[in-house]
Amino acid sequence: MTQTDRTVVPEDSSDPAGRPARPSTPARADWRDWRRGWILAVLAVLVALLLGLHASLPNEFGNLGSLLETFLPWFGLAVPVLLLLALLRRSATALSAVLLPAIVWLNLFGGLLTDKSTGKGDFTVLTHNVAADNADPAGTVRLLNGSGAQIVALEELAGAALPAYTKGLAATYPYHAVEGTVGLWSKYPLADVSVVDIRIGWTRAFRATVTTPEGPLAVYVAHLPSVRVKFDAGFTAGQRDVSAQALGNAIQAEPLKKVLLLGDLNGTVNDRSLAPVTSQLRSAQGAAGDGFGFSWPAAFPMARIDQILSKGGLRPTDSWVLPRDGSDHLAVAAAYRY
């Protein structure tokens, strides 16, 4: 054999056993590569910070803090979105970061996902913004009469529809009081009805003493001014905030120990601007029942702005939302032990 007939075999063409070497392949994505997914991780941390430090977000510009707090539970939707993107990105970094907003959200709202009902109460209360443009007040009357509530507060009572409610509820609720555009219907006697000035120029709040079989209650009915979200002004809630302070002052001066507040507060219990009221009272929705109890808008509820709040040892045993009627709000109810 001549030199030109020789076959030169590369030294690395086979392993020691004589088998051919495997062709090289591109490196596959590795979950251990912590360099991927940093943008997703930063987004997850930002969501966690917004949830956990929402009270620190300033309200000076367009009431941005109050706006965020109104819809705060919905920020939890960012968690499954970020989780899906982290899985698609195959990023251990992003997956680890997604745990942060998940934990913060569960700490804030996880308790609302479990049923905290503790049985039948001594009495049931209900509040409903019936809407001035309600096209079916008769349907609303049927809803209220069939609710099983002993005490019913109504807001946004328009003049033309008021006789329909007065007449339609009379058989079930023999006692009632109406002041301005808010009213109270009760199976128990009412006394000491007096207007509460919430500084808007007309009557949208009052208090009454309700004598239940277990004892007297101070019941406040209120409809705080509406809020708006405007592109040029942000979350316009200044008038509502003034009214919340006036209502809070009246409740603080209440001589009776056991107090209920029923009404449309045009804000959630997370909204810091309602602190003059919510710092004194306990929400039935957070303490009993299950779910978020969103009440507005009725077509697709996104926030609980219709509230049932109490103090003085009243213990909520259940809370729930009633079916939709002709209003743009859903009625909410709660059972209490005296």
For every one of its 338 residues, what pLDDT tens digit does the chain have, with 9 covering 90 and above? 444 455 544 555 455 555 555 555 444 556 556 678 999 999 999 999 999 999 998 887 778 889 899 999 999 999 999 999 999 999 999 999 999 999 999 999 999 999 999 989 999 999 999 999 999 999 999 999 999 999 999 999 988 899 999 999 999 999 999 999 999 999 999 999 999 999 999 999 999 999 999 999 999 999 999 987 655 545 668 899 999 999 999 999 999 999 999 999 999 999 999 999 999 999 999 899 989 999 999 999 999 999 999 999 999 999 999 999 999 999 999 999 99
Two tokens, residue 291: 């779910």
Answer for the pair 153, 329: CB distance below 8 angstroms, yes or no.
no
Q: What domains can you pick out in the chain, each with its CATH number? A: 38-113 (no CATH), 123-337 (3.60.10.10)
Token representation of residue 136: 């079916």
> Burial letters for 48-81: b for 16+ Cβ neighbours within 10 Å, e otherwise?
bebbbebeebebeebbebbbbbbebbebbebbee
User: Do the beta carbons of residue 78 and residue 292 sit within 8 Å?
Assistant: no
Half-sphere exposure of residue 311: CA atoms within 13 angstroms, side-chain side: 14
Cβ pair 328, 294 in contact under 8 A: no
Closest CA to 307 of 266, 335, 271: 266
pTM: 0.87
Strands, sheet with 315-321, edge to edge from the N-terminal-most edge strand = 175-179, 182-186, 151-155, 123-129, 332-337, 315-321
